[in-house]
Structure 1
């Protein structure tokens, strides 16, 4: 491909795909997605083939595939492998669809209960909620012992404690969104306080080291599923947490 062919620079690809420029640079550094060419100024440019490869990568990520596994699939370009993987995840997607149907029914019952005064059992209130949806991936990433300890601590909290823990995380997310809207920097005292709250929230189940905490917050940016949880309050919230965590970890861990 020559520089005169139709290409998109890294900023354009980031806007089109929703993938951050930092993530695209990481993909390039690891060999997962190289640009078609790089300009004299160091700016990466991507052609149609690279966009299609990125689409393939993002599709596999949405299906919960690890980056190492994604690399082997897109490099091999083996249709049989891709089809087999898609079949494996089809069952999971179908189960997730059914779970959302249960959640919709739960919300409908709640509305009916509030409007008509009909009682709901504890089981009905939380029917359809799945706190273990990422457990298989967590076991692969951090090991069975870490996940088993985390699960035990979660169960020990009881329903009231579990709800408080979920509420604490929501407070962190909303505080990040407010910090984005106000324009606080990652190193500002206000944002550093938010990171301290986040670290304490994480440490209820697992005590990260300096590097593992930085790696965790980097994952919040790299993994679309987690990034959406933070960016729903304000675009860039996940990146603010990641950048602020780098500062906080260097100062405190």
Structure 2
């Protein structure tokens, strides 16, 4: 079975121009080109397009997609990559199911003239760090912390977030005061920071595992320096790097 450019474009939800562009840059080659100059796509090309669309949806550039597909030419590599895509889609499906249930709950309560539950209205919408936590510490850690978070009422969630903001603000104030990351003041605040992490179920600090706590604190400190998204919360890149240095020093001496 083969499809023309337009037939494949219609089924994939992309334009014929996009498919022709993919061909021109060597990203997606037709299975054959007919005597009439038409491009024809069979199962091999369609399977490759599936991966291209998955990677594009994940935010990769066309150059990065080309590199990823080139490095995964081995059939085993392709299977591993597809398993990874499937796991990601299943997680997205789970999150979407939670959001659908949340909206259905709100709609049902409104129709009955009743007040929706506040925690249900936010179910599935505030798991912003699922991918990061799962990648760094495993699915079990995310599940435990997620259940703990959703067990809190809205007031408790807001208080937790306020405490977190104050924790980071204090790092900026310490940096402005001119003390060193290894000073008593900075190390005392590092202990407070570590205790804040430890209250979250699933973390090694919560379980009392010193070695894994040391690794976690170091792992959490690194993005404070390298990820610009964290910098404003600390009051700037220098303050964020100060906090990272202090946490690493604290971890080394646990």
TM-score normalised by L of structure 1: 0.47
TM-score normalised by L of structure 2: 0.47
Larger relative contact order (CA 8 Å, sep ≥ 6): 1
Structure with the greater alpha carbon radius of gyration: 2
